[in-house]
Amino acid sequence: MKIRSFDTYILDLPIIRPHQLAMHTITAQSVVVGRVMDEEGREGWSEVATIGGASYGESTPEAIKANIDAYITPLVIGRDPIHFDKIMMDVSKQVRGNTFAKTVVEAAIIDLAARSKGVPAFELFGGQIHKSLPVAWTLASGDTAADIEEARGMLEKKRHNIFKLKIGKGDPFKNVEHVRKIKQAVGDEARITVDINQAWDEDTANYCIAALQDAGVSMVEQPLAAWDFEGMSRLTAKFDVPVMADEAATGIQEVFRIAKTRAGNSIALKPCKHGGLTQTKKAAGIAEAAGLGLYGGTMIESSLGTAICAQLYATIPEMKFGTEIFGPLLFKDNITVNDIEFADFEVIIPDGPGFGMEIDKEKVKHYAREFQSETEMRV
């Protein structure tokens, strides 16, 4: 069994409502989908999502696709997909950075390898520990009354009892008051977390985290710039509320630095920022050894990308802060035939062959940008 081809497609998928972050408001989500084929015609599929073009990071959809096509694909053709770790080690020797691109390639190869053996992908990572995991929902209307109503609806339907608010944009002090009112409204029925997306300086963080802690918020995510490890260390030492590193917790070296300097007492895992599933497991191991809490993060993936994250997170012993892999609930349409299931405040881990999702190729073709200009998509 050898890899014959690797194709990449950029898809622009509609979402049900705008999703606001500090640096960008998502009105349609761009994902990069990979498809690997072996010589027998078997396929593996993968996905990573990006946020706001270049406003979030350097891995834009266009850059991901270009670098896979030009630099990574030639390195995987002819290789045996079951040796995915060796393949990606060799790729990393010749391709620096490009963690999103590497994740697309590795995940598709893992999907193919697992399908060839007729097993879920989590069997290749030590097996499944969790059948389901807690899943948070982001309240993003910006209107306090509307967010309270939405949270109460989610609680009533037993869909979510963890709510995140993105508060990096606008007046920090008004945003804190917005959070305080929502926490007061839901009380002990739900946990409230906040994500600053690097938007505060240390003076602002000192004041606002104190107020958030007093309001009963259960976690504060990446209040300072990713490079400010010293500032994050001071905040972590000063406050009782957990301070989570996200954008700062990229490669395993950065995760080790966070653990060593306590630049956060928890980290958000995301395969795309670590450079793939194997690297994410390594990051989780470093964090676990250092006593850092873990959180299963998201880049707002659709059903395929969410299944990839869910299967990997299901192999990690303790996800102290649960997950945020609610992405499929935000999309108007799906590129898989089957759906991710959510029930009793948790996401159910898919357990079919590979990542457990069956691709709707017509939907991929419908949403792909200019796939006709590439090698014709073989349906």
Size (the chain), residues? 379
Look at residues 317, 277, 280, 313 and name the one whose alpha carbon lies nearest to residue 296: 313
d(CA 244, CA 294): 9
Alpha helices by DSSP H, the chain: 61-67, 73-76, 84-94, 99-117, 144-156, 172-186, 202-215, 229-238, 252-261, 271-274, 277-290, 303-313, 361-367
d(CA 66, CA 372): 16
**Strand, helix or coil for residue 170:** coil
**Strand, helix or coil for residue 136:** coil
Q: Is 93 a catalytic residue?
A: no
Q: Which two tokens stand for residue 166?
A: 């993105």
Residues 6+ apart with CB under 8 A from 142: 20, 178
d(CA 54, CA 164): 24
- Exactly one of 166, 183, 270, 281 is catalytic; which is it? 166
Residue where the block lists tokens 């290789």: 79
Which residues participate in catalysis according to the annotation? 166
